Amino acid sequence: MTTEALTTAAAAEPIVPGAPPPQPLWLDFWRGIADDNPVMIQMLGLCPAMAISNQLANGLGMGAATIFVLVCSSLLISMLRSVIPNEVRLATYILIIATFVTISDLVMQAYFPLLSKTLGPFVPLIVVNCIILGRAEAFAGKVKPARAAADAFGMGIGFTLALCTISAFREVVGSGMLLGYSIFGPNYEPWVFMIMPPGGFLTMGLMFLVMGWWGERKKAKRAEVHA
Amino acid sequence: MIANLSWIFFSTLLINNFTLAMFLGLCSFFGVTTKMDTGWRLGAANTFVLVMTAVAVWVLNTFVLAQAPYLRTIAFIVVIASLVQIVEMAIKKFLPVLFRELGIYLPLITTNCAILYLALTQTTRGYGLIEGIVYALGGGLGLTLALTLMASIRERLDVADVPAMAKKMGLVLIIASCMSMAFMGFAGMGSG
């Protein structure tokens, strides 16, 4: 490619400082699920991940609401990225996010009153979920809408997967049921501790321990190969 | 009246501790608690913002939001964000030393879920001005207690011999689980 072609290509797509490097859409999507999982790797959004994760149904509902807010606000922020002045961008992002959170809160109250009651204030608290503002600041505000949506969708799915893993574990161990169906039969003595607050910390801690063990094992194997 | 207020205070401080029982403000709970000084200072700043928020929310609920309850979330987050901004400017002007010590954690109070949670529950429980302030004090002191305890444990942990796989967050979360279990012991307090 000649220098001329390079400059015209650069002019067609202005480079935003700090913008993520270009890559295919499916990679943008996949990153949130695996390599950059918001809960497991980035440790964002821990509050909802532990607070409402004592039943799988709660995890699913929370995940769905978060995916909706994340995708919609990322899309809108990305579309408005050239209009939003840099100085007030955080306030604007928060307002956009709060709007979609209100929508999902009202929809949930209208169509899923039971779920809305169990999740309680944690639905409006999606506003202060650091994943959403983090994605807006690090990604959506700097790229085209398609990429922003792919990234938001991946992050949302990654968050929901983590949430479902934690909540399924806590529900099965803590009450012997999954989504209301008995798993271990009537003779199982439920480990009630797991659906109480300390169980949330413990499950999360065990998960990080397993991941730490896995990481150490990989490191040791790599050292062996090099040696 | 007094009995009611002290019940609100102690139940928020111990039984429904914002951090250890309600899982609020975990980002700063795990992120900042490496030194005891920063731990309790951040707790104090949070308490201050919580009390200011309680007053602001009472004003909003009494004079503005009765006509438009669907604007609650948006109104609260805007008020909290501007409140933190004002507090930050005031501390910068009048207490420059404290400002330097708190650093980045001061603006981050905006995204601490404990603040928005307080605003929302204060509304749903229908607390008045005094009750709101007591509720905020209890919640804030509870946060401070949890932050300080955690920071003091982690200061000791720095010199302890820990297996490599627990070095990062695993052990800290297990410790939090034990603390949370200890706080569960307060749950019987009201019924006895």
- Confidence label for A15 from pLDDT (cuts 50, 70 and 90): low
Residue B146 makes CB contacts below 8 A (sequence gap 6+) with B17, B18, B19, B20, B29, B179
CA terminus-to-terminus distance, chain B: 20
Residue A124 within any structural domain of the chain = yes
Using CB atoms within 10 Å of the CB of residue A218, give its burial: 0 to 12 exposed, 13 to 18 middle, 19+ buried.
exposed
Contact (CB<8Å) B73/A101? yes
The pLDDT assigned to A12 comes to: 44
Q: Determine, yes or no, domain membership for A135.
A: yes
Greater confidence (A63 vs B112) lies with A63
Residue from A131, A208, A217 to probe the interface with B (highest B Cβ count within 10 Å) = A208
Query: What are A209-218's pLDDT values in tens digits?
Result: 888 888 888 8
Buried b (16+ CB within 10 A) or exposed e, B141-159: bbbbbbbbbbbebbeebee
Q: Which domain holds residue A154?
A: 21-226
A223 touches chain B (CB under 8 A): no
Asked if B177 and A105 come within 8 Å (Cβ–Cβ), the reply is no
Separation between Cα atoms, residue A34 and residue A189, nearest integer Å = 35
Residues 60-89 of A with CB under 8 A from B: none
- Asked if residue A5 is part of any domain, the answer here is no
Measured CA angle at A50 (ends B46, A31), to 5 deg: 100
Residue A1 located in a structural domain? no
Q: How close does chain A come to B44, measured CA to CA in Å? A: 21
Our measurement of the distance from residue A224's CA atom to the centroid of its chain's CA atoms, rounded to an integer in Å, reads: 35
Residue ranges in chain B whose pLDDT is less than 50? 192
What average pLDDT does chain A have? Answer: 84
φ, ψ of residue A36 to 5 degrees: the values are -120, 35
Identify whether A49 is part of a domain. Answer: yes
Would the pLDDT of A6 be above 50?
A: no
CB A201 to CB B74 under 8 A?
Answer: no
Q: Is A146 near chain B, with CB under 8 Å?
A: no
Residues A172-202 have pLDDT tens digits of 888 887 877 877 777 778 888 888 888 889 9
From A91, A95, A197, residue closest to B180, measured CB to CB: A197
- Residue of chain B whose alpha carbon sits nearest to that of A200: B177
Q: What is the CA A12 to chain-centroid distance, rounded?
A: 32
CB contact under 8 A, B177 and A198: yes
Question: In sequence order, what are the residues at sequence separation of 6 or more whose Cβ sits closer than 8 angstroms to the Cβ of residue A108?
Answer: A61, A65, A115, A116, A119, A123
Q: Which residues fall within 8 angstroms of residue B50, CB to CB, at 6 or more apart?
A: B114, B115, B118, B136, B137, B139, B140, B143
Q: What was the pLDDT predicted at A177? A: 79
Of B24, B164, B169, the CB nearest to A47: B24
Q: Do B113 and A197 touch (CB under 8 A)?
A: no
CB within 8 A of B167, min separation 6: which ones?
A212
Q: Does the pLDDT at position A4 exceed 60? A: no
CA–CA min distance A69, chain B (Å): 14
> Pairing relation of β-strands A177-178 and A181-182?
antiparallel
- Domain assignment of residue A6, yes or no: no
Phi, psi values for residue A85, rounded to 5° = -65, 145
For chain B, the residues whose C-beta falls within 8 A of a C-beta of chain A are 20-27, 30, 70-74, 77-78, 81, 110-113, 115-117, 120-121, 124, 164-174, 176-178, 180-181, 184
**Residues B173, A199: C-beta atoms closer than 8 Å:** no
Q: How far is B29 from chain A, CA to nearest CA, in Å?
A: 10
Q: Which of A44, A46, A99 sits opposite B74 (nearest CB)?
A: A99
Nearest residue to B31 (alpha-carbon basis) of B117, B111, B124, B125: B111
Domains of chain B, by residue range, sit at 16-184
Q: Over pLDDT 70: what percentage of chain A?
A: 91
How far is it, in rounded angstroms, from Cα A211 to Cα A208? 5
pLDDT on residue A194: 85
Lowest mean pLDDT among A5-14, A102-111, B48-57: A5-14
CA of B97, closest CA in chain A: separation in Å?
26
What does the pLDDT read at residue A10? 43
Question: CA nearest B172 in A: which residue?
Answer: A205
Residue A5 pLDDT exceeds 70:
no
How many distinct helices (H) and strands (E) make up chain B?
9, 0
Residues in CB range of A143: below 8 A, 6 or more apart: A19, A20, A78, A151
Shortest alpha-carbon distance between residue A149 and chain B (Å): 23
Q: What is the pLDDT of residues A115-164, one digit of tens each?
A: 998 888 889 899 888 888 888 888 888 888 889 999 999 999 999 999 99
- Is B184 within 8 Å of B21 (Cβ atoms)? yes
Say whether B27 and A212 touch across the interface (CB within 8 A): no
The pLDDT, as a whole number, for residue A109 is 92
pTM (predicted TM-score): 0.84
Closest by CA to A90, choosing from A33, A151, A44, A133, is: A133
Is A94 a domain residue? yes
The total of structural domains in chain A comes to 1
In this prediction, residue B136 carries a pLDDT of 93
Q: What are the structure tokens assigned to A100, written together? A: 């979609």
Query: Residue B49 carries which side chain, given as an amino acid letter?
Result: V
Has residue A215 been placed in a domain?
yes
